[in-house]
Amino acid sequence: MMSHKAGFVNIIGMPNAGKSTLLNALVGEKLAITTPLAQTTRHRIKGIENGEDYQIIYSDTPGILAPKYKMQEQMLQVIDTSFIDADILLIIIDPNDKKALNDIYIKKISDLKIPKILLVNKMDVCKKEHLLKTIQHWEKVFKLEKSFAISALNNKGITEVHNALFDLLPVHPAFYPKDELTDRPERFFVAEMIREQIFRNCKQEIPYSATVEINAFSEEEKITKIAADIIVNRQSQKPIMIGKNGSMLKKIGTEARKDIEAFLDKKVYLELYVRVNADWRDNEYQLRNLGYNDQ
C-alpha cells in the first residue's frame, strides 16, 4: 500500500506578484480575493487540496512590505509565521518588479532548511530571455529544489509545479478531514468578497482604509440573509464610500452579492452599512476585534 503524503506549502512574495491567483489555481477554487491593486491580501488563507494518497495545505500570505501602521505590522507577522510551519516554500516573483525581494527576507528565506521552489510568474507577458535571466539570478541567490516559469492567471505551468510539490511532500497522515477545502469559515470569505469589490470600485486610499465586519449571517431554507458593516478610517471617507444617492454602496453590494451567491450556491440578501472607526488600522483592540490577529 502506498504511503500517504501531507504537508504545508506556503507562498511568499512581494505585493501583486500573484500569490492569491496562484493559490486559487493550485486549489482549483477561488478562495483568495484578487485585484489589480497591490496589498489586497491581509490575512493568511489556507487552501486544502486532497487526493487519495496526499493532502497539500497551501497558505497564501500578505505581500512583503515596509509597514506604515499596526495592521501592516501584523501582516508581516503572518509572513514570519509562514516560515516557521512550512514544509515547502513557494517563492513567487514578478519578473517585471525591480524590487522583487528585500534583503531582510532574502536572508530569512536563505536561512530556512526546507525545500524551496522558485516560481517566476506572468510568463505570458514577459520576454523569454528576461524570464531566463530572472531564474538564473535567483538560482544564484537561493538553494532551490526547482524553478518554474508560470502564469498563475492563465494556469500555465501549474501542473508541473503540483508534480514537483507532490514529490517533495513528507510522508504523513492528513492534517484535515478530506472533505475540507479551507480552515476559514464562510463568514470570512463573505467579508473578503465585499472587500474585493471595495478594491475594484473605489479609488486612491479608500480601499486601504476600509475593512468589513459581518454582523448577521442567517441561513434560511431558500435564502441566506447577511448584514455587514464597511468600516472606514475617517469621517470624510464615509460619504465617498456611500456615493451620490447611495450609488457606490449599491454597486459594491450588487457585485459582492453575485460572488457570494456563487460561493454559497444559494440566493443571498445582502445589507451593507458604512461606519467610521477612527484610525482602526493603528488600534490593537480594534484590530483584534476585527480578526486581524487570527492568523
Q: What is the pLDDT of residues 181-204, one digit of tens each?
A: 999 999 999 999 999 999 999 988
Question: How does pLDDT run across 149-164, given as a tens digit for each residue?
Answer: 999 999 999 999 999 9
Residue 295 within a domain: no
70 and 157 housed in the same domain: yes
Residue 260 within a domain: yes
CA distance 21 to 94: 13
Number of domains in the chain: 2
163 and 253 housed in the same domain: no
| 8-state DSSP, 30 | -
Q: At 154, list the grid cell.
A: 492563465
Q: At 155, list the grid cell.
A: 494556469
CA-based radius of gyration for the chain: 20
CA distance 16 to 41: 9
Q: Which of 168, 201, 221 is the last residue of a domain?
A: 168
Instruction: Quote the domain boundaries for residue 152.
Output: 5-168
Residue 175 within a domain: no
Contacts of 62 (CB under 8 A, 6+ apart): 15, 39, 41, 42, 43, 44, 75, 76, 78, 79
Residue 176 within a domain: no
13 and 157 housed in the same domain: yes
164 and 203 housed in the same domain: no
- Whether this prediction's pTM lies above 0.85 is answered by yes
11 and 127 housed in the same domain: yes
Mean per-residue pLDDT over the chain, rounded: 92
Query: Which CATH number characterizes residue 69's domain?
Result: 3.40.50.300
Residue 294 within a domain: no
User: What confidence score (pLDDT) does residue 295 get?
Assistant: 58
* Mean pLDDT of the 271-276 span: 97
Query: How many C-beta atoms surround the C-beta of residue 236 within 10 A?
Result: 9
Pairing type for strands 54-60 and 5-12 reads parallel
215 and 135 housed in the same domain: no
222 and 279 housed in the same domain: yes
Q: At 104, list the grid cell.
A: 531582510
Q: At 254, list the grid cell.
A: 450588487
Residue 51 within a domain: yes
